[in-house]
Amino acid sequence: MYWSKDEEIADSFLRRAEESGYSAIVVTLDTPMMAWREFDLKNVYLPFLAGEGVGNYLTDPAFCSKLAKSPKEDPASAITYWTQVFGNSSLTWDDLAFLRKHTKLPILLKGVLHPNDAKLALEYGVDGIVVSNHGGRQVDGAIGALEALPLICDVIQDQIPVLMDSGIRRGSDVIKAMALGAKAVFVGRPCMYGLAVAGEQGVKEVLQNMIADLDITLGLTGERSVKELNKSILMDSQNLGHSLLKEGIKHGV
C-alpha cells in the first residue's frame, strides 16, 4: 500500500484489498515521495505520467469520484490529480490507527532498516516487518537490507515475523537472509525481468530456477531444510575456518 494523501482513497484501497481476497496489508514506509533518480531524469522517464503503473488509481471509485470526467474521457486530468494525492509525507506512527480502523487484515511495515523503528513497530502492535531499502532506489548509500536484517531480528526476537526484501537474486541470497533471521524473502526485480522477456511463463521460469538454485545450494550447506538455517552456516569474521560450507558436511551430503 502506497498511502494516499486522500483518506477516502486510502480507505477505498483497503476495502478493495479485503474484497479481492488479499491476506495482509503491506505498508510501504520508504516512499512517501519519489526519490531523486538521475537516470530517470536523464531519460525523462516516469511512466506514471503516461498512465502506466497507476491502474489501481484510475479504476478506484473514490479516486474517480474526485474527477470531473472519467480517466477514459480525460486521462490528463486524472494523472494530474494522481500527482497531487500519491504518497503522504506527513504520516507518523500514530496514523497506524487509521489502518486499524479501516481494515481487519494483518498490517506489515515494509522499509524498516533501523532497530529503533523495529522497537516502535512492536510498541504500535504491527503484525510483521519487511526489512527493505526499496531495492536501493530511494536513498543512495543507504544501508543494505541484508546488513540491517540481523539488527532488526535482534530487536524483534521472534515476537512478530521479519521478512526481507531487496537484492534477492539467487538461491544463496535466500539462504543468507534466512540464516540471518528472515522468515521469508520477497523476490521482485527478477520476476519483472522474466515478465519483460516472456510474460507469465517468464515469471514462472524465474521462480522455478530460483527454487532449484535454492534447493541445490541448501544441499551444499549440508542442511535438509531452510527451517534448520542459522548464522552458523555463514562466514564468521572471528573464525575464518567456519564458512558457508559447514565442517564435516552434515548428513553425508
Q: What is the pLDDT of residues 146-169, one digit of tens each?
A: 999 999 999 999 999 999 999 999
What's the fold here for domain 7-27+94-166?
TIM Barrel (3.20.20)
Among 114, 134, 242, 251, the one annotated catalytic: 134
The chain-wide mean pLDDT, for the chain, equals 90
Is 134 labeled as catalytic in the residue annotation?
yes
- Tell me how far apart the alpha carbons of residues 181 and 183 are, in angstroms, rounded to a whole number: 6
Q: What is the pLDDT of residues 158-217, one digit of tens each?
A: 999 999 999 999 999 999 999 999 999 999 999 999 999 999 999 999 999 999 999 999
* Predicted pLDDT at 253: 38
98 grid coordinates: 487509521
CATH 3.20.20.120 domain extents, the chain: 7-27+94-166
What pTM did the predictor assign? 0.86
Q: Yes or no: say if 3 and 91 are a contact pair by the CB < 8 Å rule.
A: yes
Burial of 110 (0-12, 13-18, 19+ CB in 10 A): buried
Cell 484501497 identifies what position? Answer: 13
In sequence order, what are the residues at sequence separation of 6 or more whose Cβ sits closer than 8 angstroms to the Cβ of residue 167? Answer: 135, 136, 144, 145, 146, 173
3-class secondary-structure state, position 129: strand
* Residue type (1 letter), 88: N
Q: Which helix (H) or strand (E) is 150 found in, with range? A: helix 145-156
125 grid coordinates: 502492535
- Tell me how far apart the alpha carbons of residues 130 and 112 are, in angstroms, rounded to a whole number: 6
